Amino acid sequence: MSNQLRIGIIGTGVMGSDHAHNLARGVRGASLAAIADAAVDRADALAAELGGNIATYSDGKEMIASGDVDAVIIAAPDPFHAELTGACLDAGLPVLCEKPLAPTAAEAVDVVAKQEALGRDLLTVGFMRRFDPGYRALKARLAAGADGALLMTHSVHRNVEAYPGQDSSATITNSAVHEIDVLPWLSGHDIIEVEWAAGRASSLIAERHDPQLLLMRDDAGVLHTVELQVHARYGYDVRCELVCETASVELPSVPALVEADEVIVSKDLARSAAYPADWRPRFAAAYRAELAAWVEASLAGRLPEGAATARDALRTTVVAETLVRSMNAGGARLGVPSLDDVMSGKA
Amino acid sequence: MSNQLRIGIIGTGVMGSDHAHNLARGVRGASLAAIADAAVDRADALAAELGGNIATYSDGKEMIASGDVDAVIIAAPDPFHAELTGACLDAGLPVLCEKPLAPTAAEAVDVVAKQEALGRDLLTVGFMRRFDPGYRALKARLAAGADGALLMTHSVHRNVEAYPGQDSSATITNSAVHEIDVLPWLSGHDIIEVEWAAGRASSLIAERHDPQLLLMRDDAGVLHTVELQVHARYGYDVRCELVCETASVELPSVPALVEADEVIVSKDLARSAAYPADWRPRFAAAYRAELAAWVEASLAGRLPEGAATARDALRTTVVAETLVRSMNAGGARLGVPSLDDVMSGKA
Amino acid sequence: MSNQLRIGIIGTGVMGSDHAHNLARGVRGASLAAIADAAVDRADALAAELGGNIATYSDGKEMIASGDVDAVIIAAPDPFHAELTGACLDAGLPVLCEKPLAPTAAEAVDVVAKQEALGRDLLTVGFMRRFDPGYRALKARLAAGADGALLMTHSVHRNVEAYPGQDSSATITNSAVHEIDVLPWLSGHDIIEVEWAAGRASSLIAERHDPQLLLMRDDAGVLHTVELQVHARYGYDVRCELVCETASVELPSVPALVEADEVIVSKDLARSAAYPADWRPRFAAAYRAELAAWVEASLAGRLPEGAATARDALRTTVVAETLVRSMNAGGARLGVPSLDDVMSGKA
Amino acid sequence: MSNQLRIGIIGTGVMGSDHAHNLARGVRGASLAAIADAAVDRADALAAELGGNIATYSDGKEMIASGDVDAVIIAAPDPFHAELTGACLDAGLPVLCEKPLAPTAAEAVDVVAKQEALGRDLLTVGFMRRFDPGYRALKARLAAGADGALLMTHSVHRNVEAYPGQDSSATITNSAVHEIDVLPWLSGHDIIEVEWAAGRASSLIAERHDPQLLLMRDDAGVLHTVELQVHARYGYDVRCELVCETASVELPSVPALVEADEVIVSKDLARSAAYPADWRPRFAAAYRAELAAWVEASLAGRLPEGAATARDALRTTVVAETLVRSMNAGGARLGVPSLDDVMSGKA
């Protein structure tokens, strides 16, 4: 394997396309080398859109066998996951398989058995909440231990609109699997007992139980409640609260907090959120976006749109210097010289 | 210029190092080709830490002239900005210069004149707030126009601890410049009049006015208030509110909202924040982090730490299937089979 | 019954004392006429503290029979509730009985039977959440119907510290009864099925299940989840969320919102809270407090502490007039005349 | 003066009527004895609406001289304030005069002089923010001193809609006077210097400066900024932030927090709000409302609307007992007996 990981993606639906764009925006050590889709024109179109040197295939297994990729992302339809994953394992390639590993436990068993027979770990499944800054902050807080033992958790998972043609089981196997994965990851204990409940169903989506309530108990005795609603209309909303012995720790309920590594802590008669200590966490996204925009524009031989030009920066300096003059003049109200006057030496 | 932009960074302080790390984490189309620092051992150490093939220089101008870099980031001490920027312009290289362009307007004038004499735009100044998702959301909201004209703005900019050895002028020229840059960028109008004020100063930092209050008026008549506090102790805090004719639009006051493209809108007798319509904006950071971790681990021949393994995914499937059985059994409380039993076909 | 309702209170514990103080602070149409407590010295002390003309009794039933009270508040220990309530019904007096009506359903049945045999309604039980502005706002929102049918509710009820000597049943019969009362009041439907659950218990309070989870289903099919925690340590916290077909409506999670008639509405891709249309709801409490303080001070022949005096009001007028002068002078910075100069006609 | 303060109100506009209703709802030690209005039919109508024994007058001064009132609230039009206040002082009656004391400082001077010549304090001016739980919590926090000295304050005061026919001066003399009163009350220092500013004005209200910005400096050097907007459209919004040496303390920005004695504290890298320690502060308003509703209903010979009846309480007990049975049965799902069965002894 070269120092740069050549990645092949199978599937060009929403997830395959998103992974491809993320790779194209730059991931350290990775290059997008190939895209496979049974509809090869879709693979071709995506490769063309992303630019660069990307091979395309109509057959994912052919791509796996080509020797042109060092690792594979599987975002094909669910029924193909097990077979494609198996092919990757056979080829000895690291594979990131979108969830689910297989549509049923029976099929998943075969994949797990094959993986475990290999003697080396090659298979990762795309339960991405484990990488969400919010869930990671919850886990870090639990690990720190200062709030006492975890006793109970409450989760809410609501989608705006149900996928047509699915049934109540799909709510569990498609949506709730994220909580089923991430809650034991948070608590560090396997789920050993479950119970399903539902009550009055929304009249807006006739053919299924919505909302549903799941109760799960893990082997530390922690009780997890999960409310699922696939047709909640109001917005996409994911909530998670950890009830500990001396504190409650939650993902923020303000929707915009979605990408922040922030939790709301209720402890010691206060409900609080943390401030950063300096500008770096506050503006980390800005610095990354600035850099990306500048590189893209420089390659195109122009300046990044909306960025500060030399003239902008000069104007800022002139205003700042005028403010300092106001300060030195006891707070006088001062006009700011025009840039023309500044450039011509008049001001 | 090749399809990959070879970037050289001058300066290995906080900003130079952060830019270098951001490039190393992957920016589409960019590679970090060289690092320069008068203390070349610092440049060497940073290059070694980041890995890959990075040249080092003790002299930034030598790097600029080397032909090994296609574009330059200047993060050297402020007094060298103008000279190094000039060298880049002479060499015809795109340059991202950390603010300030120069310590004084007089020096900045020379840089601007040189840039403008070139006939092509090469120079960008690192006022990164223009790329902050929050400020961009404010600007987009203003541009949409639904809130009427912008009438007044209120900003707060507070640092935890003052840099020693600076004076009250530095509060303006080092800190307030961010607001001086971003406020006219938001309003689309130049600042034409300013006034400085300060009142009671903190006893915790004897040698300067802290906090300060800046009043600035732009050429549309919009009045901008900016409170600066460099020794606020409680946290790093940046606030910005746009007072429009029919609404007030603010950056969120919850500190964790820092990286979100979210604003708080007060309008029509409600104060509100937006929900996403689906999971993609909610978990965009998670997907990116997942991909980065998976690539890094695959290059190292292991699985990403904490990611869902095949066994984890199988367990999730087993729990989901047990929940579906509970649903089909009217909500019965059911034990979850052990993975051993599942793998051995007993369950 | 006179135009003024003469009220007798039985019991001088926390609740009896609070009711007495509330009456003493003034309730339209009511006067506190008598206090009974088996420890009559406690009744005497409370009567003395409150001032006015309040009779005391060592025997609540004697008070009920005295002819000196028109209505009775029962805040005696729980085992006496049924008997005292019965005595009030026998005497034909309106009675507000603190919850519970009786320690067991069997005893409560007798009270209900006696009340219903009377032919007139005299008995109210003190489930005060029905009068909480927050719960009332939830109910009003439901009644308005714009959010579609109620589908599910989630409640949390946490106390800081468990009462010693109680067991897990008391968590339900003492604490959860508030939710058991208020949830069907909100939904308008009786609870017809219940299920209890608990998981890992706090190690900080050994002798009971804590937290507990209650599932209740009402006769419209609505599923209600209630988490109870009597030893939550972090704060007193009551939450309630109504999941409707097109919106979720919650009591605010910010603890201070406790007395406001405000709910958080998630609907149409936004999470929002309402603004008042003018100052009257915003400052209603201030006006009431002002009035109470002024009456108390006037009776004592002094001014209310901290209220604005004539001199304060004059100073305010002088500042306001100076601001108007600044406005008329284009924003000039002006000194404010001293009150001495103003009073002596110099300014 | 009797133990009960007989209060007369002059003026039946919004403020006079609100004061009258507040008194009628019950204020300890007070009774509403008389109402005066030049339009005596309005006084009659208000007295009739409130019930009880309330005299009416067409002439406030006649009421003052009548001997039938012990204290007077002046809510007549502003031009009459000084004269009526003077009459009260002459009569030796405590007086609560709505702001302003007089339309101009010159007239106010006379009232102050008369008050001060009296030798006893009789006059209070209705700057009710001093009694607002939020502002009081700010003041208490400042007084506690743990945040270091107060350095600067920021206030916002926005109304939905401007009163027609007023000018820019009225924004100061009618609206800003509240901040002009309450800010020095908070800081404990008189305002000694002011400056007015305005920028772009709303096109929705042509005839005046809106918004305005006021800068005020007190004799401790504290700088106060106040933004006034009388035609803000979006909602009634009052904000106040105290910038101290080690913390920032604010009124909550969530509008519903309006009546709570709560502040948001930014300190030690966290932004936090307080939880109550038990249910009493949380449900204080509920208890008061319950009591008021019960008294009113009892006087009318009925139960308070929506209150828990005996049957409600019995049902609650039955549900609670069924939950305890579920607990004792290991969490069994149990039907709740019907009340009929319970009452008839079948369950």
Let me know: does A246 contact A148? Beta carbons within 8 Å: yes
**Subunits with at least 3 CB pairs below 8 A relative to chain A?**
B, C, D
Angle (nearest 5°) at CA B133 between A271 and B103: 105
CA-CA distance, C37 to C26, in Å (whole number)? 22
Q: Which residue has the tokens 């991430």?
A: A182
Amino acid at A290: E
Using an 8 Å Cβ cutoff, are A310 and B114 in contact?
no
CA dist list (Å): D219 to A92, A245, C307: 77, 49, 21
Asked if A320 and B180 count as a contact pair (C-beta separation under 8 A), the reply is yes
Taking the C-alpha atoms of residue A152 and residue C210, their distance in angstroms, rounded to an integer, is 10
- In this prediction, residue D151 carries a pLDDT of 96
Whole-number Cα distances in Å, D293 to A145, C20, C36, C292, D248:
48, 15, 23, 20, 40
Residues D139-190: tens digit of each pLDDT? 999 999 989 999 999 999 999 899 888 889 889 988 999 999 999 999 999 9
Using CA atoms, how far residue A266 sits from A241, A246, A261, C265, in Å, is 11, 9, 17, 22
Q: Quote the pLDDT of residue C253.
A: 63
Which tens digits make up the pLDDT trace of B305-317?
A: 878 877 787 888 8
Question: In 3D, which of A49, A100, A70, A92 has the Cα closest to residue A5?
Answer: A70
Mutation for testing the B interface, residue in A78, A264, A275, A296 having most B CBs under 10 Å: A275
Q: Is C238 exposed, middle or buried (0-12, 13-18, 19+ CB in 10 A)?
A: buried
Q: What's the rounded Cα separation, in Å, for the pair D298 and D293? A: 8
Q: Among D228, D256, D19, which residue's Cα sits nearest to residue D134?
A: D256
Give the pLDDT confidence score for residue C262 in this predicted structure. 61
- Residues in Cβ contact with C89 at an 8 Å cutoff, skipping those fewer than 6 apart: C95, C111, C114, C115, C118, C122, C123
**Which carries the bigger pLDDT value, residue D333 or residue B41?**
B41
Max mean pLDDT among A189-203, B116-130, D103-117, D329-343 falls in A189-203
C289 token code pair: 């407090």
Among chain C residues, the shortest Cα distance to A330 is held by C333
CB C240 within 8 A of CB C153: yes
Both structure tokens of B51: 């890995």
**Model confidence at B224: pLDDT above 90:** yes
Tokens for D283, please give them.
């449900």
Integer CA distances (angstroms), A69 to A28, B288, C185, in order: 16, 20, 63
Q: What does the pLDDT look like over D184-226, one tens digit per residue?
A: 999 999 999 999 999 899 999 988 899 999 999 999 999 999 9
Q: Where are the beta strands (DSSP E) in chain B?
A: 5-10, 30-36, 55-57, 71-74, 95-97, 123-125, 150-158, 191-198, 212-218, 223-229, 237-244, 248-250, 264-267, 270-274, 308-309, 333-335
What are the tens digits of pLDDT across the range B265-307?
778 877 777 777 777 777 777 777 787 877 888 778 887 887 8
Q: CA of D235: which chain B residue's CA is closest? A: B269
Return the number of other C-beta atoms located less than 10 Å from residue B23's C-beta: 23
Given a contact cutoff of 8 angstroms between Cβ atoms, the answer to whether B90 and B25 are in contact is no
CATH topology of domain C5-126: Rossmann fold (3.40.50)
- Determine how many CB atoms are found less than 10 A away from the CB of residue B83: 16
Q: Which residues from chain A sit within 8 angstroms of residue D275, using beta carbons?
A: 266, 269-271
Judged on CB neighbours under 10 Å (0-12, 13-18, 19+), A277 is middle
**CA B133, chain centre distance (Å):** 9
pLDDT category at B1 given cuts 50, 70, 90 is: very low
State percent of chain D over pLDDT 90: 45
Segments of chain B assigned to CATH 3.40.50.720 = 5-126
Interface test with chain B among C272, C275, C278, C282, by most B beta carbons within 10 Å: C272
Q: How many other C-beta atoms lie within 10 A of the C-beta of residue A24?
A: 20
Any idea which of B160-164, C71-75, D266-270 has the lowest mean pLDDT?
D266-270
Q: Are B326 and B301 in contact (CB under 8 A)?
A: no
Q: Residue B43: what pLDDT? A: 97
Is the bond preceding residue C337 a cis peptide, omega within 30 degrees?
A: no
For chains A and C, count residue pairs whose Cβ atoms are closer than 8 Å. 141
Å between C174 CA and nearest CA of chain A: 21
What does the pLDDT read at residue D2? 42
For C130-274, give the CATH class: alpha beta
Cis peptide before A276 (omega within 30 of 0): no
- Point out the residue among B149, B225, B269 whose CB comes nearest to the CB of D203: B149
> What's the mean pLDDT in D266-272?
78
CA A17-A23-A26 angle, to 5 degrees, is 145
Pick the more confident residue, B102 or C279: B102
The partner residue sitting opposite C283, judged by closest CB among D128, D294, D311, is D128
Measured between alpha carbons, how far is C114 from B144 in angstroms, rounded to an integer? Answer: 67
Residue D273 in this model has a pLDDT that exceeds 50: yes
Which stretches of chain C drop beneath a pLDDT of 50? Answer: 1-2, 255-259
CATH code given to domain A130-273: 3.30.360.10
* pLDDT value of position A265: 78
Distances (CA, A) of D145 to B296, C307, D183: 51, 22, 17
Structural contact between residues D54 and D40, judged by C-beta atoms closer than 8 angstroms:
no
What's the confidence (pLDDT) of residue C261?
A: 56
Nearest to D269 among A266, A271, A275 (CB): A275
Buried b (16+ CB within 10 A) or exposed e, A177-203: bbbbbbbbbbbebbbbbbbbbbbbbbe
Contact partners, residue C304, CB within 8 Å, separation at least 6: C290, C293, C294, C296, C297, D124
Strands D71-74 and D95-97: parallel
Q: Where in chain C is the domain with CATH 3.30.360.10?
A: 130-274
The DSSP symbol for B12 reads -
Cα torsion B52, B58, B60, B61 to 10°: value is -120
**Residue with more model confidence, C67 or B345:** C67
Residue A190 Cα, gap to closest chain B Cα (Å): 8
Per-residue confidence band for B253, with pLDDT thresholds at 50, 70 and 90: low
Query: Residues A156-214: pLDDT tens digits?
Result: 999 999 988 888 988 998 899 999 999 999 999 999 999 999 989 999 998 889 999 99
Q: Do A154 and C201 touch (CB under 8 A)?
A: no
For the segment A302-311, the average pLDDT, to the nearest whole number, is: 79
A29-33, A252-256, B215-219, C262-266: which range is least confident on average? A252-256
ipTM score for this prediction: 0.85
- Six-digit token string for B262: 């979210």
Any idea what DSSP says for residue D171? I
The whole-number average pLDDT for the span D42-56 is 94
pTM of this structure = 0.87
Which candidate, C188, C196, C124, places its Cα nearest to that of C150?
C188
